[in-house]
Amino acid sequence: MPDRTLMILGAAGQLGAALADAARETWAVRPFTRADLDIADATAVRAAIAATRPDAVVNAAAYNHVEACESDPAPAFAINCTAVAALGLACRDIGCHLVHFSTDYVFDGLSDRPYREDDPAHPINLYGLSKLAGEWALQLTGARACILRTCGLYGHHRSPSAKKNFVDQIIDQARAAAPLRVRADLTCTPTSAADLARATLQILDRGLTGTFHATNAGHCTWHEFATEILRLIGLPRDIEPLHPERATGKARRPKLSALDTSKLLRDTVALPPWKQALSAYLRVHQRMTNNRERPLCPP
């Protein structure tokens, strides 16, 4: 049995579950879902860490309802900032390594190139501000922490309260012959939760601290992303570019939110190109779909 203990918060979500899957061969994994542990309860979090005595904690729990934040930012700041500060203090006090995930939305999207870690942060919506506040709060705790900013995450797992990821939404809409309208003016880097989970384990093995950008390689518009999804599953459909003025929602979105990962590459942690990652995801997705549709007994 592995002699290192890894505590995962948010273990029912797409990233937390991917981390648990990837870590089981080399870590004794202690997964905590929201039902097990409310990250906003600082006393409960400290007690759980004290009882578990982990070598490392990975915080995959977050409030990421971007639109809801614009009307009611309190839950976002409670989970993405205040809870992160309390978690950092608890990890500092027992001396364990902490990995925390942040977002491309800490940037305003006005750059003409992918963002580096040392570029000034300037969020343009309240969700991004809550995540940036969490970064600052964690840094002030003095915890031995690594902050990983990522972008466009998708994975095979989904917590009960979460909506489907972008890939699955596009597939569902295409198969239902529903109209497809996707933003062509916003550039991101689609990132596989499985790839990010494997990179996180490498980061833990290397004991890295500080702030890093962690995404699959390359970037594209959301429209290009959707087009590639349908191409790979062999379901070509016309996708209408959604003009910004026709987009619904209160939250402003960064025009360019691709992240430069060269700093992480210098520590020999690399994620594959986004098209390669998407192809791998869709192969597994197809197997999972076939297994769900297979009858329990042969006719």
Annotated catalytic residue, options 63, 105, 115, 127: 127
Buried b (16+ CB within 10 A) or exposed e, 47-68: ebbeebebbbbbbbbbbbbbeb
* Strand spans (E) along the chain: 5-9, 28-32, 56-59, 97-103, 145-150, 153-154, 181-183, 187-188, 191-192, 210-213, 220-221, 240-242
Pairing of strands 97-103, 145-150: parallel
- CB 180 within 8 Å of CB 264: no
CA diameter of the chain: 63
Return the DSSP state at 178: -
Catalytic-residue membership of 127: yes
CA distance linking residue 115 with residue 5, whole number of Å = 33
State the DSSP string of 86-125. Answer: HHHHHHHHHT-EEEEEEEGGGS-S--SSPBPTTSPP--SS
Burial of 112 (0-12, 13-18, 19+ CB in 10 A): exposed
Q: Catalytic site residues?
A: 127
